[in-house]
Structure 1
Amino acid sequence: MNEPFVMFSTVHLVALSVFLAAVILLYRYRKKLRVAPINAKRFERIAAISLFVIDGLYYLWMIQTDRWGLASSLPLELCSISLLATILLLWTGNRHFIDFVLFAGIGGAFQAMLTPDLDMNFPHFRFFHFFFTHAGIILTGLYYVWVRGYKPTFKSVVKAFIIINALVPAIMIVNWLVDGNYMFLQMKPVNGSLLDFLGPYPWYLLSLEVVAFCMFTLLWLVLRQWRIDSANGSKEK
Protein backbone atom coordinates (compact mmCIF):
# COMPACT_ATOMS: atom_id res chain seq x y z
CA MET A 1 0.00 0.00 0.00
CA ASN A 2 1.24 3.45 -0.86
CA GLU A 3 2.28 5.51 2.15
CA PRO A 4 0.80 9.00 2.56
CA PHE A 5 2.76 11.92 1.18
CA VAL A 6 4.65 13.96 3.79
CA MET A 7 5.54 17.56 3.03
CA PHE A 8 9.31 18.25 3.04
CA SER A 9 10.07 14.56 3.43
CA THR A 10 13.07 13.05 1.68
CA VAL A 11 11.11 12.22 -1.49
CA HIS A 12 9.63 15.72 -1.57
CA LEU A 13 13.05 17.33 -1.25
CA VAL A 14 14.47 15.01 -3.93
CA ALA A 15 11.62 15.95 -6.29
CA LEU A 16 12.31 19.65 -5.68
CA SER A 17 16.03 19.07 -6.24
CA VAL A 18 15.40 17.34 -9.58
CA PHE A 19 13.17 20.23 -10.61
CA LEU A 20 15.83 22.78 -9.59
CA ALA A 21 18.42 20.85 -11.61
CA ALA A 22 16.11 21.01 -14.65
CA VAL A 23 15.79 24.79 -14.25
CA ILE A 24 19.57 25.16 -14.02
CA LEU A 25 20.11 22.98 -17.11
CA LEU A 26 17.51 24.94 -19.07
CA TYR A 27 19.30 28.18 -18.25
CA ARG A 28 22.74 26.67 -18.83
CA TYR A 29 21.88 25.43 -22.35
CA ARG A 30 19.51 28.25 -23.34
CA LYS A 31 21.86 29.50 -26.10
CA LYS A 32 22.18 26.08 -27.74
CA LEU A 33 18.41 25.64 -27.69
CA ARG A 34 17.94 29.11 -29.11
CA VAL A 35 19.93 28.56 -32.32
CA ALA A 36 17.84 25.66 -33.67
CA PRO A 37 14.24 26.87 -34.17
CA ILE A 38 13.15 23.78 -36.18
CA ASN A 39 14.41 21.38 -33.54
CA ALA A 40 12.95 23.65 -30.87
CA LYS A 41 9.50 23.39 -32.43
CA ARG A 42 9.75 19.62 -32.49
CA PHE A 43 10.85 19.67 -28.85
CA GLU A 44 7.90 21.91 -27.92
CA ARG A 45 5.38 19.58 -29.52
CA ILE A 46 6.92 16.53 -27.85
CA ALA A 47 6.69 18.35 -24.52
CA ALA A 48 3.06 19.25 -25.23
CA ILE A 49 2.22 15.63 -26.07
CA SER A 50 3.97 14.32 -22.94
CA LEU A 51 2.01 16.71 -20.70
CA PHE A 52 -1.26 15.87 -22.48
CA VAL A 53 -0.68 12.12 -22.25
CA ILE A 54 0.31 12.00 -18.59
CA ASP A 55 -2.64 14.22 -17.66
CA GLY A 56 -4.97 12.06 -19.73
CA LEU A 57 -3.65 8.96 -17.95
CA TYR A 58 -4.34 10.70 -14.65
CA TYR A 59 -8.00 11.17 -15.54
CA LEU A 60 -8.23 7.55 -16.73
CA TRP A 61 -6.70 6.44 -13.42
CA MET A 62 -9.27 8.47 -11.48
CA ILE A 63 -12.13 6.92 -13.47
CA GLN A 64 -10.73 3.40 -13.12
CA THR A 65 -10.32 3.77 -9.34
CA ASP A 66 -13.69 5.49 -8.84
CA ARG A 67 -11.99 8.71 -7.76
CA TRP A 68 -13.45 10.88 -10.50
CA GLY A 69 -16.31 13.14 -9.44
CA LEU A 70 -17.84 16.46 -10.38
CA ALA A 71 -16.96 17.95 -7.00
CA SER A 72 -13.22 17.38 -7.28
CA SER A 73 -12.11 16.17 -10.71
CA LEU A 74 -13.01 18.88 -13.20
CA PRO A 75 -9.97 20.74 -14.64
CA LEU A 76 -10.86 23.95 -12.81
CA GLU A 77 -7.95 24.32 -10.43
CA LEU A 78 -5.51 27.12 -11.26
CA CYS A 79 -2.79 24.62 -12.11
CA SER A 80 -5.18 22.54 -14.26
CA ILE A 81 -6.13 25.64 -16.24
CA SER A 82 -2.45 26.63 -16.44
CA LEU A 83 -1.54 23.14 -17.67
CA LEU A 84 -4.10 23.41 -20.48
CA ALA A 85 -2.70 26.84 -21.42
CA THR A 86 0.83 25.36 -21.31
CA ILE A 87 -0.08 22.50 -23.64
CA LEU A 88 -1.78 24.86 -26.09
CA LEU A 89 1.19 27.24 -25.96
CA LEU A 90 3.71 24.48 -26.65
CA TRP A 91 1.64 22.93 -29.44
CA THR A 92 0.48 26.07 -31.25
CA GLY A 93 3.15 28.62 -30.33
CA ASN A 94 0.33 31.14 -29.85
CA ARG A 95 1.82 33.79 -27.59
CA HIS A 96 -1.58 34.87 -26.26
CA PHE A 97 -1.12 32.04 -23.75
CA ILE A 98 2.31 33.13 -22.53
CA ASP A 99 1.31 35.76 -19.96
CA PHE A 100 -1.06 33.39 -18.17
CA VAL A 101 1.49 30.56 -18.13
CA LEU A 102 4.31 32.87 -17.11
CA PHE A 103 2.60 34.45 -14.11
CA ALA A 104 -0.51 32.51 -13.08
CA GLY A 105 1.09 29.22 -14.11
CA ILE A 106 4.48 29.70 -12.49
CA GLY A 107 3.01 31.37 -9.40
CA GLY A 108 0.45 28.63 -8.81
CA ALA A 109 2.66 25.70 -9.75
CA PHE A 110 5.56 26.88 -7.61
CA GLN A 111 3.32 27.20 -4.55
CA ALA A 112 1.81 23.79 -5.30
CA MET A 113 5.23 22.12 -5.54
CA LEU A 114 6.37 23.66 -2.25
CA THR A 115 3.20 22.66 -0.39
CA PRO A 116 1.61 19.82 -2.41
CA ASP A 117 -2.05 18.93 -1.89
CA LEU A 118 -1.16 15.31 -2.58
CA ASP A 119 -2.42 12.06 -1.07
CA MET A 120 -0.15 9.64 -2.95
CA ASN A 121 3.56 9.23 -2.29
CA PHE A 122 6.51 7.98 -4.34
CA PRO A 123 6.53 5.73 -6.37
CA HIS A 124 2.80 6.03 -7.14
CA PHE A 125 1.80 7.30 -10.60
CA ARG A 126 -0.03 10.27 -9.05
CA PHE A 127 3.23 11.44 -7.43
CA PHE A 128 5.00 11.52 -10.80
CA HIS A 129 2.00 13.13 -12.51
CA PHE A 130 1.83 15.89 -9.91
CA PHE A 131 5.49 16.91 -10.07
CA PHE A 132 5.88 16.35 -13.82
CA THR A 133 2.92 18.54 -14.77
CA HIS A 134 3.68 21.33 -12.28
CA ALA A 135 7.35 21.36 -13.24
CA GLY A 136 6.30 21.37 -16.89
CA ILE A 137 4.26 24.54 -16.39
CA ILE A 138 7.16 26.39 -14.74
CA LEU A 139 9.81 25.17 -17.18
CA THR A 140 7.64 26.16 -20.14
CA GLY A 141 7.28 29.71 -18.85
CA LEU A 142 11.02 30.00 -18.26
CA TYR A 143 11.72 28.44 -21.66
CA TYR A 144 9.75 31.13 -23.46
CA VAL A 145 11.77 33.83 -21.69
CA TRP A 146 15.24 32.28 -21.79
CA VAL A 147 15.06 30.47 -25.13
CA ARG A 148 12.24 31.98 -27.17
CA GLY A 149 13.09 35.55 -26.20
CA TYR A 150 9.73 36.64 -24.79
CA LYS A 151 10.02 39.93 -22.90
CA PRO A 152 7.44 40.13 -20.11
CA THR A 153 6.05 43.56 -19.24
CA PHE A 154 4.05 44.95 -16.35
CA LYS A 155 1.07 44.86 -18.71
CA SER A 156 1.59 41.08 -18.81
CA VAL A 157 1.24 40.98 -15.02
CA VAL A 158 -2.02 42.94 -15.13
CA LYS A 159 -3.35 40.78 -17.97
CA ALA A 160 -2.73 37.53 -16.09
CA PHE A 161 -4.24 38.98 -12.91
CA ILE A 162 -7.39 40.10 -14.74
CA ILE A 163 -7.83 36.70 -16.41
CA ILE A 164 -7.67 34.90 -13.07
CA ASN A 165 -10.22 37.23 -11.52
CA ALA A 166 -12.47 36.85 -14.56
CA LEU A 167 -12.44 33.08 -14.03
CA VAL A 168 -13.28 33.25 -10.31
CA PRO A 169 -17.04 34.03 -10.54
CA ALA A 170 -17.66 31.15 -12.97
CA ILE A 171 -15.67 28.73 -10.80
CA MET A 172 -17.54 29.87 -7.67
CA ILE A 173 -20.81 29.05 -9.44
CA VAL A 174 -19.48 25.58 -10.35
CA ASN A 175 -18.39 25.08 -6.73
CA TRP A 176 -21.89 25.95 -5.57
CA LEU A 177 -23.53 23.64 -8.12
CA VAL A 178 -21.36 20.58 -7.46
CA ASP A 179 -20.41 21.27 -3.81
CA GLY A 180 -16.77 21.60 -4.85
CA ASN A 181 -13.77 23.59 -3.73
CA TYR A 182 -12.02 24.41 -6.98
CA MET A 183 -9.19 26.95 -6.64
CA PHE A 184 -9.78 26.62 -2.86
CA LEU A 185 -12.49 29.28 -3.08
CA GLN A 186 -14.66 27.57 -0.45
CA MET A 187 -12.05 26.39 2.06
CA LYS A 188 -8.32 25.83 2.51
CA PRO A 189 -6.71 22.49 1.53
CA VAL A 190 -6.88 20.03 4.40
CA ASN A 191 -3.21 18.99 4.12
CA GLY A 192 -1.95 22.50 4.77
CA SER A 193 -0.55 25.10 2.40
CA LEU A 194 0.67 28.68 2.23
CA LEU A 195 -3.00 29.69 2.55
CA ASP A 196 -2.75 28.84 6.25
CA PHE A 197 -0.81 32.08 6.72
CA LEU A 198 -3.40 34.28 5.01
CA GLY A 199 -6.16 34.33 7.61
CA PRO A 200 -9.53 32.56 7.97
CA TYR A 201 -12.23 32.15 5.32
CA PRO A 202 -13.29 34.31 3.50
CA TRP A 203 -10.57 36.84 4.32
CA TYR A 204 -7.78 34.66 2.99
CA LEU A 205 -9.28 35.16 -0.48
CA LEU A 206 -8.62 38.89 -0.25
CA SER A 207 -5.15 38.25 1.16
CA LEU A 208 -4.54 35.84 -1.70
CA GLU A 209 -5.37 38.58 -4.21
CA VAL A 210 -2.63 40.77 -2.72
CA VAL A 211 -0.16 37.90 -2.53
CA ALA A 212 -0.88 36.85 -6.12
CA PHE A 213 -0.37 40.36 -7.49
CA CYS A 214 2.84 40.81 -5.49
CA MET A 215 4.11 37.40 -6.65
CA PHE A 216 3.34 38.19 -10.29
CA THR A 217 5.11 41.54 -9.96
CA LEU A 218 8.14 39.91 -8.34
CA LEU A 219 8.29 37.35 -11.14
CA TRP A 220 8.17 40.17 -13.68
CA LEU A 221 10.97 42.06 -11.93
CA VAL A 222 13.16 38.95 -11.94
CA LEU A 223 12.39 37.80 -15.48
CA ARG A 224 12.74 41.24 -17.04
CA GLN A 225 16.48 41.01 -16.34
CA TRP A 226 16.78 38.61 -19.25
CA ARG A 227 16.49 40.83 -22.31
CA ILE A 228 17.23 38.47 -25.15
CA ASP A 229 17.82 39.77 -28.62
CA SER A 230 15.87 37.16 -30.59
CA ALA A 231 17.64 38.15 -33.78
CA ASN A 232 21.14 37.11 -32.74
CA GLY A 233 20.75 35.84 -29.17
CA SER A 234 23.58 38.02 -27.96
CA LYS A 235 22.02 40.53 -25.64
CA GLU A 236 21.25 39.52 -22.08
CA LYS A 237 21.25 41.18 -18.69
Structure 2
Amino acid sequence: MHTDPFITFGVQHIITLIIAFSAFIFIPFAIKDKSDAFHHTAGISIAVLIFVHEVTNALNAFTFGLPWQEAVPLHLCDMSAISIALYFIYKIKILFNCAFFWGIGGATMAMLTPDIDYQFPHAEFVPFFYGHALVLLGVFFAVICLKERPFFSDVNKVVVISLVLAGVIYVANILLGEGANFWYLMDKPAGDTIMNFFPEPPYHLLVTTPVAISVFYLIYLPYVISDALKKS
Protein backbone atom coordinates (compact mmCIF):
# COMPACT_ATOMS: atom_id res chain seq x y z
CA MET A 1 0.00 0.00 0.00
CA HIS A 2 1.36 3.42 -0.98
CA THR A 3 1.72 5.84 1.92
CA ASP A 4 3.15 9.34 1.98
CA PRO A 5 5.90 10.42 4.39
CA PHE A 6 4.61 11.77 7.69
CA ILE A 7 4.66 15.58 7.85
CA THR A 8 4.87 17.05 11.34
CA PHE A 9 2.02 19.56 11.74
CA GLY A 10 0.81 18.78 8.25
CA VAL A 11 -2.94 18.75 7.59
CA GLN A 12 -3.35 15.08 8.52
CA HIS A 13 -1.32 15.50 11.71
CA ILE A 14 -3.30 18.55 12.83
CA ILE A 15 -6.66 16.86 12.16
CA THR A 16 -5.51 13.81 14.13
CA LEU A 17 -4.42 16.00 17.05
CA ILE A 18 -7.77 17.82 17.09
CA ILE A 19 -9.68 14.52 17.15
CA ALA A 20 -7.45 12.98 19.83
CA PHE A 21 -7.30 16.00 22.14
CA SER A 22 -11.05 16.57 21.81
CA ALA A 23 -11.74 12.94 22.71
CA PHE A 24 -9.62 12.65 25.86
CA ILE A 25 -10.90 15.99 27.16
CA PHE A 26 -14.56 15.75 26.10
CA ILE A 27 -15.20 12.17 27.22
CA PRO A 28 -14.21 12.70 30.90
CA PHE A 29 -16.25 15.92 31.11
CA ALA A 30 -19.22 14.15 29.51
CA ILE A 31 -19.28 11.47 32.22
CA LYS A 32 -17.91 13.33 35.25
CA ASP A 33 -21.32 13.54 36.97
CA LYS A 34 -22.03 9.82 36.65
CA SER A 35 -22.13 7.54 39.70
CA ASP A 36 -19.05 6.14 41.46
CA ALA A 37 -19.99 2.69 40.18
CA PHE A 38 -20.06 4.01 36.62
CA HIS A 39 -16.68 5.67 37.09
CA HIS A 40 -15.22 2.45 38.50
CA THR A 41 -16.44 0.50 35.49
CA ALA A 42 -15.16 3.18 33.13
CA GLY A 43 -11.74 3.12 34.78
CA ILE A 44 -11.49 -0.66 34.53
CA SER A 45 -12.60 -0.44 30.89
CA ILE A 46 -9.81 2.03 30.12
CA ALA A 47 -7.35 -0.28 31.89
CA VAL A 48 -8.48 -3.22 29.75
CA LEU A 49 -8.15 -1.17 26.56
CA ILE A 50 -4.63 -0.18 27.61
CA PHE A 51 -3.53 -3.74 28.37
CA VAL A 52 -4.99 -4.99 25.07
CA HIS A 53 -3.17 -2.21 23.22
CA GLU A 54 0.12 -3.01 24.95
CA VAL A 55 -0.14 -6.66 23.88
CA THR A 56 -1.06 -5.81 20.28
CA ASN A 57 1.65 -3.16 20.24
CA ALA A 58 4.23 -5.79 21.16
CA LEU A 59 2.98 -8.04 18.36
CA ASN A 60 3.02 -5.13 15.92
CA ALA A 61 6.75 -4.74 16.46
CA PHE A 62 7.19 -7.98 14.54
CA THR A 63 4.39 -7.24 12.07
CA PHE A 64 5.91 -3.88 11.14
CA GLY A 65 9.43 -5.27 10.94
CA LEU A 66 10.73 -3.16 13.83
CA PRO A 67 13.68 -4.22 16.01
CA TRP A 68 12.56 -7.03 18.31
CA GLN A 69 13.41 -4.87 21.31
CA GLU A 70 10.39 -2.69 20.46
CA ALA A 71 8.19 -5.54 21.71
CA VAL A 72 9.45 -4.87 25.25
CA PRO A 73 7.21 -2.26 26.97
CA LEU A 74 9.98 -0.04 28.32
CA HIS A 75 9.21 3.20 26.52
CA LEU A 76 8.14 6.02 28.85
CA CYS A 77 4.67 6.04 27.30
CA ASP A 78 4.37 2.27 27.86
CA MET A 79 5.21 2.79 31.52
CA SER A 80 2.74 5.66 31.88
CA ALA A 81 0.05 3.53 30.21
CA ILE A 82 0.68 0.56 32.50
CA SER A 83 0.84 2.88 35.53
CA ILE A 84 -2.55 4.48 34.91
CA ALA A 85 -4.09 1.09 34.09
CA LEU A 86 -2.82 -0.40 37.36
CA TYR A 87 -4.00 2.71 39.21
CA PHE A 88 -7.57 2.09 38.05
CA ILE A 89 -7.34 -1.45 39.41
CA TYR A 90 -5.47 -0.92 42.68
CA LYS A 91 -5.95 2.84 43.37
CA ILE A 92 -2.32 3.28 44.45
CA LYS A 93 -1.57 7.01 44.38
CA ILE A 94 2.05 6.81 43.21
CA LEU A 95 0.86 4.99 40.07
CA PHE A 96 -1.39 7.95 39.25
CA ASN A 97 1.42 10.41 39.98
CA CYS A 98 3.82 8.68 37.60
CA ALA A 99 1.18 8.34 34.89
CA PHE A 100 0.21 12.00 35.31
CA PHE A 101 3.68 13.45 34.72
CA TRP A 102 4.97 10.78 32.35
CA GLY A 103 1.73 10.78 30.40
CA ILE A 104 1.20 14.51 30.04
CA GLY A 105 4.90 15.14 29.47
CA GLY A 106 5.70 12.11 27.33
CA ALA A 107 2.51 11.21 25.49
CA THR A 108 1.73 14.81 24.61
CA MET A 109 5.22 15.37 23.21
CA ALA A 110 5.02 12.06 21.34
CA MET A 111 1.77 13.13 19.68
CA LEU A 112 3.07 16.60 18.84
CA THR A 113 6.34 15.29 17.40
CA PRO A 114 5.64 11.65 16.42
CA ASP A 115 8.47 9.21 15.89
CA ILE A 116 6.82 7.66 12.82
CA ASP A 117 7.83 7.76 9.17
CA TYR A 118 4.54 7.56 7.28
CA GLN A 119 1.08 9.03 7.57
CA PHE A 120 -2.33 7.33 7.36
CA PRO A 121 -3.18 4.76 6.04
CA HIS A 122 0.18 3.26 7.04
CA ALA A 123 -0.40 0.50 9.60
CA GLU A 124 1.71 2.21 12.30
CA PHE A 125 -0.25 5.46 12.22
CA VAL A 126 -3.46 4.54 14.05
CA PRO A 127 -1.89 2.38 16.81
CA PHE A 128 0.64 5.14 17.54
CA PHE A 129 -1.89 7.91 18.06
CA TYR A 130 -4.52 5.63 19.61
CA GLY A 131 -2.08 4.35 22.23
CA HIS A 132 -0.83 7.76 23.29
CA ALA A 133 -4.34 9.25 23.31
CA LEU A 134 -5.46 6.34 25.50
CA VAL A 135 -2.82 7.26 28.10
CA LEU A 136 -4.04 10.86 28.19
CA LEU A 137 -7.67 9.72 28.33
CA GLY A 138 -6.81 7.69 31.42
CA VAL A 139 -4.99 10.58 33.09
CA PHE A 140 -7.69 13.14 32.36
CA PHE A 141 -10.40 10.69 33.42
CA ALA A 142 -8.66 10.25 36.78
CA VAL A 143 -8.32 14.03 37.22
CA ILE A 144 -11.79 15.07 36.05
CA CYS A 145 -13.98 12.16 37.12
CA LEU A 146 -12.12 10.68 40.08
CA LYS A 147 -10.97 14.09 41.38
CA GLU A 148 -7.38 12.86 41.62
CA ARG A 149 -4.49 15.35 41.63
CA PRO A 150 -0.78 15.51 42.41
CA PHE A 151 0.82 17.69 45.08
CA PHE A 152 4.23 19.35 45.06
CA SER A 153 5.81 16.52 47.05
CA ASP A 154 4.52 14.14 44.37
CA VAL A 155 6.46 16.02 41.69
CA ASN A 156 9.67 15.50 43.65
CA LYS A 157 8.90 11.80 44.10
CA VAL A 158 8.27 11.29 40.39
CA VAL A 159 11.50 13.12 39.53
CA VAL A 160 13.48 10.78 41.81
CA ILE A 161 11.68 7.70 40.47
CA SER A 162 12.31 8.85 36.90
CA LEU A 163 16.03 9.42 37.49
CA VAL A 164 16.44 6.00 39.11
CA LEU A 165 14.48 4.34 36.31
CA ALA A 166 16.53 6.20 33.70
CA GLY A 167 19.63 4.50 35.08
CA VAL A 168 17.90 1.12 34.96
CA ILE A 169 16.62 1.73 31.43
CA TYR A 170 20.09 2.82 30.28
CA VAL A 171 21.53 -0.49 31.46
CA ALA A 172 18.59 -2.34 29.87
CA ASN A 173 19.33 -0.65 26.54
CA ILE A 174 22.92 -1.88 26.71
CA LEU A 175 21.90 -5.42 27.66
CA LEU A 176 19.21 -5.61 24.96
CA GLY A 177 21.76 -4.61 22.35
CA GLU A 178 21.60 -2.66 19.10
CA GLY A 179 18.07 -1.48 18.34
CA ALA A 180 17.19 -0.75 21.96
CA ASN A 181 16.70 2.97 22.51
CA PHE A 182 14.15 3.21 25.30
CA TRP A 183 13.59 6.70 26.69
CA TYR A 184 15.85 7.84 23.81
CA LEU A 185 18.81 7.47 26.13
CA MET A 186 21.08 5.97 23.46
CA ASP A 187 20.12 8.05 20.44
CA LYS A 188 17.73 10.74 19.25
CA PRO A 189 14.34 9.76 17.77
CA ALA A 190 14.17 9.49 13.99
CA GLY A 191 11.39 12.05 13.51
CA ASP A 192 11.38 15.83 13.77
CA THR A 193 11.51 16.56 17.49
CA ILE A 194 12.94 19.18 19.81
CA MET A 195 15.85 16.80 20.38
CA ASN A 196 17.12 17.65 16.90
CA PHE A 197 18.46 20.85 18.48
CA PHE A 198 20.28 18.99 21.26
CA PRO A 199 23.94 17.83 21.18
CA GLU A 200 24.76 14.50 19.60
CA PRO A 201 24.49 11.35 21.78
CA PRO A 202 25.51 10.68 24.45
CA TYR A 203 25.84 14.38 25.23
CA HIS A 204 22.16 14.94 24.46
CA LEU A 205 21.47 13.54 27.93
CA LEU A 206 23.07 16.63 29.45
CA VAL A 207 20.17 18.61 27.96
CA THR A 208 17.29 16.13 27.97
CA THR A 209 17.63 15.39 31.69
CA PRO A 210 17.18 18.97 33.00
CA VAL A 211 14.58 19.67 30.30
CA ALA A 212 12.52 16.63 31.36
CA ILE A 213 12.70 17.62 35.03
CA SER A 214 11.68 21.18 34.16
CA VAL A 215 8.71 19.87 32.18
CA PHE A 216 7.45 17.98 35.25
CA TYR A 217 7.44 21.17 37.30
CA LEU A 218 5.83 23.14 34.46
CA ILE A 219 3.07 20.53 34.30
CA TYR A 220 2.43 21.11 38.00
CA LEU A 221 2.40 24.92 37.61
CA PRO A 222 -1.39 25.20 37.00
CA TYR A 223 -1.97 23.60 40.42
CA VAL A 224 0.42 26.11 42.02
CA ILE A 225 -1.56 28.97 40.50
CA SER A 226 -4.94 27.41 41.33
CA ASP A 227 -3.99 26.71 44.95
CA ALA A 228 -2.64 30.25 45.36
CA LEU A 229 -5.86 31.76 44.00
CA LYS A 230 -7.95 29.66 46.39
CA LYS A 231 -5.93 30.94 49.35
CA SER A 232 -6.16 34.60 48.30
Q: TM-score, normalised by structure 1?
A: 0.85
Aligned to 1:52: 51
Structure 2 counterparts to residues 57-76 of structure 1, below 5 A: 57-64=56-63, 66-67=65-66, 69-70=68-69, 72-76=70-74
After TM superposition, the structure 1 stretch with the greater mean CA deviation from structure 2, 115-124 or 208-217, is 115-124
Structure 2 counterparts to residues 145-164 of structure 1, below 5 A: 145-164=143-162
Deviations 1:129-149 (A, max 9, x none): 111111121222222222211
Aligned to 1:232: none
Deviation (angstroms), 1:26:
4.2
1:206 aligns with 2:206: yes
Aligned to 1:11: 12
- Whole-angstrom distance in 2 between the partners of 1:176 and 1:35: 47
Deviation (angstroms), 1:48:
1.2
Deviation (angstroms), 1:224:
5.2
- Whole-angstrom distance in 1 between the partners of 2:100 and 2:219: 8
Aligned to 2:81: 83
Contact 1:23 1:139 in 2 (8 A): yes
Opposite residue 131 of structure 1, the aligned amino acid is F
Contact 1:79 1:134 in 2 (8 A): yes
Aligned to 1:118: 116
2:128 partner SS: helix
Deviation (angstroms), 1:34:
4.1
Deviations 1:65-114 (A, max 9, x none): 553513x3321111111111122122333222011011122101111000
Aligned to 1:230: none
- Whole-angstrom distance in 1 between the partners of 2:25 and 2:12: 20
Aligned to 1:195: 195
Opposite residue 150 of structure 1, the aligned amino acid is E
Deviations 1:30-55 (A, max 9, x none): xx524411001111111111122123
Query: 1:23–1:66: structure 2 CA closer, same or farther, 3 Å change rule?
Result: closer
- Whole-angstrom distance in 2 between the partners of 1:3 and 1:38: 45
Contact 1:187 1:201 in 2 (8 A): yes
Contact 1:111 1:194 in 2 (8 A): no
Aligned to 1:106: 104
Contact 1:58 1:126 in 2 (8 A): no
Deviation (angstroms), 1:220:
0.9
After superposition, the CA RMSD in angstroms is: 2.4
Aligned to 2:125: 127
Contact 1:152 1:224 in 2 (8 A): no
1:131 partner SS: helix
Aligned to 2:36: 37
Query: 1:91–1:122: structure 2 CA closer, same or farther, 3 Å change rule?
Result: farther
1:102 partner SS: helix
Give structure 1 stretches of 5+ with no counterpart.
228-234
| Matching residue within 139, 142, 154 for 2:140 | 142
- Whole-angstrom distance in 1 between the partners of 2:37 and 2:28: 19
Aligned to 2:172: 174
Contact 2:29 2:145 in 1 (8 A): no
- Whole-angstrom distance in 1 between the partners of 2:162 and 2:199: 21
- Whole-angstrom distance in 2 between the partners of 1:44 and 1:13: 28
